[in-house]
Structure 1
């Protein structure tokens, strides 16, 4: 449960007693004010917190719950701007609220996971400057949001995303749901909604663009987001990571690696299909693939001043890098009588300096010589000249500690397409050259997160100090 008082301060409450759980479900209603007495106050050590309050309330059988006629605001938000989420400046550990315009809204799809499958829904929301973030939700939350949108809403549509979780891995988008706690409200009756709609009056270009909702959901990110990504390191430091993560680095493309081919037969959506009961299926489209087409999968050797590595550009990003499509190059090689040959266009980027975001997976950690997939890149020299390395941290960027961001003004900037690197079970081995002490560093960095917490002197904060009896306390009326 989430409780809010008359000062709009929020705190979590919970119970583990079955009889009280039934009573709460049957009797307590959202938006009603209640008076609580006799409960425990505990440190909130939950992995995902609804609020930034370090405490939470534990209700038990002797907890008194009575309705009150005190007037308390129903809503208390923890708004974070789309700008901060899109540019990776939002490091909030608690669940956040985001409001913006609905830019695109996809279809419900099946998503395979360990032990079965679930439903998946993708959509994007944008601010008044068309800066957008991708949202991917799963399970019952996806079903409820899909039904809530309906067909009668007319753009521009304002979307309120409540209790969302920032996706640290970013494999599925900027924001995702926290089980069934995440809620979406379309065109909420809030001052923030009116402010957003009024902002379009002074921005006719955005007004026209946001007056239509696309059914094609493509994650987008600004060029500048590479400059502010939390983990910006060199090649030698990449070998130090012991957990899956994403990093940004600056490289010079040195040569084309011809040992691994340059294309694969893919579904029109870019996924590599597979055979099921004699039929070619696409896991992304969840349909039978009638015809495949050539897709890029190009390996390059790249370097910086500290070492070399092998990187893979998959179809969409490779098309941007090379300014051509795989189908044309394949047709060209067939006409030349060299269907297995390498088009000379693949070498046009040799010597080019680029900023790349690399996905370091479990496979890469277990096989230090394996190739890393590129999930975003920029070859804009104005951006590259501004690039600086972040302060090096031993832990992956998903563990970076930072203060929650406050609201900030939005600002428009160029966009590039950001796509998730294709899942590939047959990643090839390419040599990564790093300083001789790299392996020693990796061994040194193998201590667990809990040890790091203890080393930082934080373990003392994990046990609250109470009197010998349980803490019983009366607080002001709260609304749940």
Structure 2
């Protein structure tokens, strides 16, 4: 009896005995975030003769059976699979369901079918500029000419060598947009660009993503699913090159990425050098030596437990002390003939549920507010509100900035650290140099690369949750809770010893790999989590790939990855 095949469009969750004839358009691996060498799934995008697409997931225990069978561009017959809802925010297909392969799934090579190698979902630049918020939650395809290229940037992140490059793209209408490519994609693009000949360079970025900061829009590759195609022998590229030659684009292009190109100064970019390490707020309290680092976070509010200005010497601009109705400058060793109010604003900042305090100084605040501290102080005095904070400071709040922190010995000695900001910017062109570093891990398709090994991952915080991907909403909430407690935990020692050699009341044996942490909990922790009577007791933490056990008191699913 001849088999009757179904179309992808017919698939619903009503049954699991569908029979498909398809072509593999794209195949990629997913990797564990905390252990980037560990594969968690093989994922495939299939096409059928109707031009519809559906995503399939091969769980890790089936990867070895199928990884050498399923190849891009090949044809297959598929039978027997679970039907799951397509809930991924960054799903590579629009189909409401995904296929999950199991032990009895049939995957057989098929004869050549009338299915194209690719079916692209091209998006216009103007659509991305207008509807960036909508497109930021899904992947799409882009075709464009590369008309410029920045230098390849190499830097170290948590012991991993990272690379990124910014390509400047334009379409047939003359509109342009910036595109950040990471690691293997950056190498592929840089090598082609450096060896290009006279012909136009046209690329297709399949399963691209868009990121937006204010009005700044930037393209980038996704973590696992993207594919970069450069001047390949494809009908779409041939047609695009033909159009370029028939209708040359004017050299004057409208760049949809930039809000105000005058703000993009080389000096400001140089203030945030690529060799500095990016840190999340959760990372800061673990720093124990002087350094400079980059942080991207949002200012939540102005803190009123410290005054918003200080009185400065009008010669050296350092703080002066008031003595017997006079001011004394210890730096100049004189009583200056005048003092001036200068900004010193304490703010609370937030990043992925973790908060801390920064202090901003005059040159940073005045540039954003556009007014001098002395003028605001005088206006408050005239209004009889000299004890108040000026409303203009609210211009700093509810906005995200890139900060450069200079952490000195004084800061490291403080019990409750307040970090001094040496530079900050909200310039999109500067932020975009660090754009993927600043993203929360919301999805399996969140940044960089085909094979997400250590050298291929976008840098993120060291703190990770050992939660299965099916529990992502729970994981995000748990991550926020744990990060809010991390600031009250001080790591005193790290050991790879057997857990039972260090704990009298050791938890049950857990799978490898294991690490043992000795942890001191501060009094601030016990106020938040009153689990023990003595804030100076030393407890031990054992973690594996699925859990953490803190002595016999409580259990968290938090990994220091």
TM-score (norm 2): 0.40
Larger strand share, 1 or 2: 2
User: Which fold has the larger relative contact order, with Cα–Cα distance below 8 Å and residues 6 or more apart in sequence?
Assistant: 1
Q: Give the TM-score of the pair, scaled to structure 1.
A: 0.46
